[in-house]
Amino acid sequence: MANLLKHPLIVATIWFASLWLLFVFATPLTESLYILYLPLHWAVFLAGCVIATCAGTTFSRNRLRGAVALLLCVTGCVLFFTVGFDWGRYLLFQIRRPGYEQRLSQAEALGRVPGELGRTDTGPPKVHAFYWQRGVVDNWSGVIYDPSGTIAQINAARGWDEIHAHALSRLFGGTYYRCQDVGGGWYICWFT
C-alpha cells in the first residue's frame, strides 16, 4: 500500500494497460478459466478503485501526477462498465480475422462448417457460424459473416418477448439474442 501512495501514476498506468489486456483477452480467458475468470474480472475493477483512492490521497503532494492517475482510473472504470469489452472483442477479432476468413472459404467449399469449428444453419439464407466462445450448457457465441447486415436486425428486439417473436431468433436451433458488428460484414453473435 505504501508503494501505491508513493507512485500512483506508475501503478495506475500499469493497471490501465492490464485493463486493456483484460478487455481484449476476456474471451479466451473465460474459455480457459471458466468460473475462475469471474474473480479475476472483478479483482481488476476493484484494483482500479483502490488505485484511484490512493491517487486521490496523494493529490495534494503532486497535483499533476495525482490527477493523471485519477483520470486513468476513472476512465478505466467507466470503460469497464460501458464499451471496454466491446472494443476489446473488436480488437481480438481483428487479430483473429485471417483465421475466420480462411474458415469461411473452407465452409463455403464444403457447404457446411465442420462440427469442431462451428455450425451451419441451412436457412434460407444459409449462414455459417464459427465458434468465438463455447459456453456452459447451450450458451455459446459465434462469428458470422453476413455482408447484407440482416443478422444485426436482432439487436432491434427489446426484451425476451420481442427476441422470441423475431424471425431470426431460432437461428442455429437455439435462441439468438444479440450481435456485435466487428466490421467488414462480420458479427459476433450470442446464442442460448
* 83-130 pLDDT, tens digit each: 999 999 999 999 999 999 999 999 999 999 987 899 998 877 789 999
Q: How many CB atoms lie within 10 A of CB 180?
A: 18
Residue 67 lies in a domain: yes
Question: Which stretch of DSSP H or E encloses residue 166?
Answer: none
pLDDT over threshold 70, residue 1: no
User: What was the pLDDT predicted at 105?
Assistant: 95
Q: Could you tell me if 76 and 10 lie in one domain?
A: yes
pTM of the model: 0.89
- Are 77 and 8 in a shared domain? yes
Grid coordinates given for 151: 443478422
Compute the distance between CA of residue 56 and CA of residue 122 in angstroms, rounded to an integer: 57
- Measure CA 170 to chain center: 23
Q: Which residues pair with 176 in a beta bridge?
A: 191
Q: Pick the last residue of a domain from 26, 48, 82.
A: 82
* CA pair distance 135, 137, nearest whole angstrom: 7
Domain total in the chain: 2
User: Whole domain around residue 12: which residue ranges?
Assistant: 2-82
Residues 72 and 110 in one domain: no
**Span 141-191, pLDDT tens digits:** 999 999 999 999 999 999 999 999 998 888 888 899 999 999 999 999 999
Domain co-membership, 107 together with 159? yes
Q: Does residue 96 lie within any of the structural domains?
A: no
- Pick the last residue of a domain from 48, 82, 116: 82
Residue 135's pLDDT is what?
Answer: 75
Residues 66, 117 within the same domain: no
**136 and 166 inside one domain:** yes
Q: How far apart are CA 90 and CA 128, in angstroms?
A: 19
Q: Does residue 177 fall inside a structural domain?
A: yes
The answer to whether residue 95 sits within a structural domain is: no
Residues 78 and 108 in one domain: no
Q: Find the range with the poorest average confidence among 22-36, 128-142, 170-184.
A: 128-142
The residue ranking higher by pLDDT, 25 or 58, is 25
State whether 106 and 182 are in the same domain.
Answer: yes
Q: Are residues 133 and 66 in the same domain?
A: no
Tell me, yes or no, whether 148 and 185 share the same domain: yes
Looking at the domain assignment, is residue 186 inside a domain? Answer: yes
